[in-house]
Amino acid sequence: MVTMNEIWTEKYRPKTLDDVVGQKHVTERLKAYVASRNMPHLLLTGPAGTGKTTCSLALAKEMFGTEWKGNFIELNASDERGIDVVRGKIKEFARTAPLGDADFKIIFMDEADALTNDAQAALRRTMEKYSGICRFILSCNYSSKIIDPIQSRCAVFRFKPLTLDDVSGFLNMIVEKENIDITEDAIKGLIHVARGDMRRAVNSLQVAASLGKKIDLDIIYQTTGMANPEAIKEMMNTALSGDFIKARDKLDDIMITFGLSGQDVIKQIHSAVFEMPITDREKVKMVEKVGEVEFRIVEGSNERIQLEALLANLVLIGGNCR
């Protein structure tokens, strides 16, 4: 049985820029900075689990070698997001000289889009004042939340969601090294769950493997808090065929079996709409209704009533009311 002594996302985190999966357009530019032993401030932006933190760590290790820990500090801006952090901890680290033969130090700020505007304004001045001995790497999911003066001081690197082949190859490498008994359908299920997020894929694989038995598709969906997409499609097809009561019973089964909230179900229904054997006009109507129901649930409406209203609407769209 797999133990949780080691978190696989850390155990198998790429050690060098060459090992990073699916971001060659980024790593090639970063390797050029390593070769020149110099770099500007960097802004790494893109979806979660695509390698932003990994690239930052690998860059520091290759840039500074064995002295990288003394010349690199990692801060999470979502925990330390106020102006006091910029004026205190960041400024204190930035103003001290680098260790060894390094020409500068690196401050890595993860989730920088969580910084307040005041903190970003203070950070802007710190980046400018200490650029001779310190470089900043800012990581965020939404670059639009970073103020323009900071963006203009940084070289921007945009990370893209990982492809199916990238995720599949990395998961198969872990499966081989950990000697995991897993079906091909389960691997495909992990890829579907991940949606381009490697961290989610690896964590989901470890949770499933910790059960100590052969991993199949049902185990993947039970341990990741998602319903089997085929069950969602079956429920929707039942509603479109006009059998509202049976579709409602299937909704109950999905929510109880997989322990899903209304928002979880809505997200999967939205994904399934585009795979339904219906006309584009009917898909437009369904997406419009899904968006309306999702908004109502977020605003506090009863999720069961709203989901049943959505199923009723699918019955009307199908045009087969009994």
pLDDT of 84: 61
pLDDT of 138: 92
pLDDT of 4: 56
pLDDT of 320: 54
> Is residue 240 classed as helix, strand or coil in its secondary structure?
helix
Angle at 268 between CA 262 and CA 274, to 5 degrees: 140
Start-to-end Cα distance in the chain: 52
- Whether 2 has a pLDDT exceeding 60, the answer reads no
Q: What is the pLDDT of residues 226-273, one digit of tens each?
A: 888 888 999 999 998 889 999 999 998 888 877 788 888 998 899 888
- Whether 159 has a pLDDT exceeding 90, the answer reads yes
**Helix 217-224, helix 184-194: angle, nearest 10:** 30
Q: What is the pLDDT of residues 196-205, one digit of tens each?
A: 889 999 999 9
What domains sit in the chain, N to C, each tagged with a CATH number? 23-158 (3.40.50.300), 164-224 (1.10.8.60), 229-318 (1.20.272.10)
pLDDT bucket at 66, cuts 50 / 70 / 90: confident
Q: What is the pLDDT of residues 89-116, one digit of tens each?
A: 777 777 787 888 888 999 898 888 888 8
Q: What is the pLDDT of residues 71-90, one digit of tens each?
A: 898 887 666 655 666 666 77
Instruction: Name the burial class of residue 319, with classes exposed (0-12), middle (13-18) and buried (19+) by CB atoms within 10 angstroms of its CB.
Output: exposed
- Whether 321 has a pLDDT exceeding 60, the answer reads no
- Whether residue 90 contacts residue 24, with contact meaning beta carbons closer than 8 Å, is answered with no
Burial profile 181-208: b = 16 or more Cβ within 10 angstroms, e = fewer: ebeeebbebbbbbbebbbbbbbbbbbbb
pLDDT of 28: 92
Burial profile 226-254: b = 16 or more Cβ within 10 angstroms, e = fewer: bbbbebbbbbbbbbbebbbeebbebbeeb
pLDDT exceeding 70 applies to what percent of the chain?
94
Residue 154 φ then ψ, to 5°: -115, 150
- Whether 121 has a pLDDT exceeding 90, the answer reads no
User: Distance between CA 249 and CA 267 in Å, rounded?
Assistant: 19
